[in-house]
Structure 1
Amino acid sequence: MQDKEVLSGAECKILVKSPAAEVVKDHALVDSHDGVLALIPKSEGAHSICVHCAAKDRLASWVGAGRKLRWSIAFDVLGASSLGLLSDPKNVAHLSDLKGAQAQVDLLLERINAISTENDYEKAFEAKFVKASEAVNMDVAAFKFLQIILITGVTAFQIHNLAKFLQRNKFLECCLPIAMRMKPVI
């Protein structure tokens, strides 16, 4: 397409119609204006090729109304009898050109599958890790609780023995104030 600014304001398509006026090929035109369109018709006869541009919005349809577009299209029509008459075989669409899109889609699907498999593995690994982490946390909490009980018991035992020692040797009477040394009278 020669007028490139119209393509940005419109949705253009190439429509190939069979002799029965049915659309057999619909090819959207995007920013890249050069390309190859291949068609193997299922029926014989004269096929028509139309370029149809529709405005994307109202303003574009009003501004571009009645505007003529310049197109340059080159056709290579091949048939069983015309294969020997090609002037430049470089311009012919090859099977590799047509399979390029399929290869890209296959590559994309393989990548999506690989990412999905990796995500599943990571979820399973994370679940195992969380379970092991919770078990270790429970063991550590139980050990800490046992440590607290042992330290409390040892502390109580030491205070009890220290108090008995001080009472037996009467160290409390010399160090305490007089008011606290007296035993209460009952």
Structure 2
Amino acid sequence: MQAVDAGRELLAQDLILQPILPSHAAALFADLQAPELYTFIPHSAPESREALEQRYARWAKRQSADGSEIWLNYAIYRPTHSDYVGTVQATLHCSGETYIAYEVFPRHWRQGYARDACTALLAHIFASYPVNTVSALLDTRNEASWKLLESLGFHRTGVIENADEFKGAVSDEYIYEIGRHESAANF
């Protein structure tokens, strides 16, 4: 599978999804320090801006070193306020499996930004790639996230019990999926 327009911006309502570059680290680092972002995910805030730049340099290649994955990683930019509200990303495996993930900075929660960004990303994926299903894995305790997915037309297809252990607790994960034919009504 080849990356299709992986380096071009996507438009989402009043947002611009900018392909992540190392230079985004300076703009995103402070907001990525919010501890609330990491309540339901098994990693922590970036240790330094330099470490974030290095991560973004890998992501800017838009694919894994062996070519088996395409990486669509975007910074969610709000031009009317000249600021960033979060990130959205997708990983497309050569096997056909495709996963999305998103994070909106706490100061922008519950304003519809994740919905708009995910809608634009899903539309791009289904229009540009031979993907039949997009999946998301999320902590079962993250009600806001699974409600967002359901509002986008995703349906819960399973539960992975004891999926992870972090921050002193074991977590279960929901599996959500949306198919190409289901997305036509939403995007």
Tell whether the structures are fold-level matches, with TM greater than 0.5: no
Q: TM-score range by the shorter chain?
A: under 0.3
- Structure with more relative contact order (C-alpha pairs < 8 Å, separation 6 or more): 2
The normalised TM-score by structure 1 is: 0.25
Instruction: Choose 1 or 2 for highest CA Rg.
Output: 1
The structure with the largest strand share of the pair is 2
